[in-house]
């Protein structure tokens, strides 16, 4: 073939590619506009038993819950399960050891810059989180004097704690819980005086504050007094599903106003009331957060293991069967008139997303919904990276 013919053939090929990119935004954005893999960051998962799951997830970083619980016998003879200092200091040391022993796979995230380091080295940065401030309960007894060094918080931070959730479902000495709220009586417990002291300490130590599972008033109070971005690492939108575990618009807006993010998780009974959940329901949640808080507030979360909700995976994502394990707990909250639990759930997962490759699937679904590549960059990791860079310095 002559050089002229070769050039003509090349031009014809390029025209064909250009036509394809116009017709297929997925092809255009993933192959040409963004040749480097899009940054993927998950707002909440766990260290898997099989570390091969880490690479399979395609995550560059994630907030990694290392919580452990301790059964506490109550005066009335019942047992309460708390994320105590005793339980969590043991669990964080174990997690730290696992990360240290697997340096080709994992990187312990200590500052926001570790995300870029992990991406460049084809590792995954894990940022240790505890779902509840009961782990620093004794620190609050020391008061707010200058000589209060918060020894429990100090030791947890030394072992890598970088994200702390104020409470889990129910209130504690620091915060009101989402499921304390009686939707029919309007109870909504605020941030306590000890909670205000804790917020100031977390700000000072550059530990990211997570208001997941908090009452709406606690979240609003926290947003008002923090001097750094806060997050709801994993949750859903109450204007779509009217349930106490889902957040009102004003909470999402308040988190966004701090510069923080709101992560939408994979628990489908809090994503849609439709009998059959689909990936479109998940995109609808992301879209609502974008409309309420702006594009910079949207983030992805999981709240299941990297591979997915294990019982549902074993059932081949049979929601009708898998939801049965939740019904007793759900009914106990319905009996207490907690908002939204009068609606019996019919599913647990969105089958397409109960999969280790969920991030790529969300990416494709966002492209199908005609989100720009730059917005997908934000949703799938960029927004998390910005917040972690700002807070973890």
Asked if 281 and 381 sit in the same domain, the reply is yes
Asked if 169 and 311 sit in the same domain, the reply is yes
Asked if 30 and 48 sit in the same domain, the reply is no
Asked if 13 and 2 sit in the same domain, the reply is yes
Asked if 64 and 16 sit in the same domain, the reply is no
Q: What is the pLDDT of residues 74-84, one digit of tens each?
A: 565 656 678 99
Asked if 324 and 374 sit in the same domain, the reply is yes
Asked if 89 and 208 sit in the same domain, the reply is yes
Least reliable range by pLDDT among 15-29, 262-276, 312-326, 341-355 = 15-29
Strand partners, 124: 106
> Residue 26 belongs to what domain range?
1-35
H helices then E strands: how many in the chain? Answer: 16, 11
Any idea what the CATH number is for the domain that residue 125 is in? 3.20.20.140
Asked if 21 and 63 sit in the same domain, the reply is no
Asked if 114 and 11 sit in the same domain, the reply is no
Q: Would strands 70-73 and 79-82 be described as parallel, antiparallel, or unpaired?
A: antiparallel
Number of domains present in the structure of the chain = 2
Structure tokens at 64: 């990694």
pLDDT(182) > 60: no
Q: What is the pLDDT of residues 132-155, one digit of tens each?
A: 999 999 998 875 555 568 999 999
The values of phi and psi at residue 370, to 5°, are 70, 30
Q: What is the pLDDT of residues 198-240, one digit of tens each?
A: 999 999 999 999 999 999 999 999 999 999 999 999 999 999 9
Asked if 18 and 111 sit in the same domain, the reply is no
pLDDT for the residue numbered 157: 98
Asked if 157 and 294 sit in the same domain, the reply is yes
Asked if 42 and 125 sit in the same domain, the reply is yes
């Amino acid at each position: 073939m002559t050089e002229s013919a070769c050039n003509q053939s090349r031009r014809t090929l390029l025209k064909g590619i250009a036509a394809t990119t116009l017709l297929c935004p997925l092809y255009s954005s993933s192959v040409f506009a963004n040749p480097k893999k899009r940054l993927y960051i998950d707002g909440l998962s766990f260290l898997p038993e099989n570390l091969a799951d880490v690479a399979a997830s395609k995550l560059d970083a994630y907030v990694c819950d290392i919580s452990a619980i301790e059964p506490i016998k109550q005066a009335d003879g019942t047992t309460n399960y708390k994320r105590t200092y005793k339980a969590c200091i043991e669990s964080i040391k174990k997690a730290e050891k696992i990360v240290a022993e697997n340096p080709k796979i994992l990187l312990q995230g200590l500052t926001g810059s570790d995300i870029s380091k992990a991406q460049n080295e084809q590792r995954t940065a894990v940022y240790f989180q505890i779902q509840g401030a009961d782990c620093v309960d004794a620190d609050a007894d020391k008061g707010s004097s200058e000589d209060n060094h918060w020894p429990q918080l100090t030791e947890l931070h030394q072992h890598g704690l970088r994200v702390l959730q104020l409470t889990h479902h129910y209130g504690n000495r620091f915060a009101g819980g989402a499921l304390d709220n009686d939707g029919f009586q309007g109870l909504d417990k605020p941030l306590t005086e000890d909670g205000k002291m804790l917020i100031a300490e977390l700000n000072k130590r550059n530990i990211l504050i997570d208001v997941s599972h908090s009452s709406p008033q606690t979240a609003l109070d926290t947003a008002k007094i923090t001097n750094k971005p806060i997050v709801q690492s994993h949750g859903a939108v109450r204007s779509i599903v009217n349930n106490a575990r889902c957040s009102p618009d004003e909470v999402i807006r308040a988190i966004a106003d701090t510069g923080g993010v709101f992560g939408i998780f994979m628990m489908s009974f809090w994503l849609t009331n439709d009998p059959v959940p689909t990936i479109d329901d998940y995109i609808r949640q992301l879209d609502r957060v974008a409309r309420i808080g702006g594009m910079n507030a949207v983030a992805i979360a999981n709240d299941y293991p990297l591979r997915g909700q294990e019982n549902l995976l074993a059932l081949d994502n049979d929601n009708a069967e898998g939801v049965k394990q939740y019904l007793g707990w759900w009914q106990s909250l319905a009996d207490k008139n907690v908002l939204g639990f009068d609606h019996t759930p019919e599913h647990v997962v969105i089958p397409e997303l109960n999969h280790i490759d969920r991030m790529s699937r969300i990416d494709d679904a966002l492209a199908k919904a005609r989100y720009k590549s730059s917005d997908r960059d934000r949703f799938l990791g960029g927004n998390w990276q910005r917040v972690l860079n700002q807070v973890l310095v």
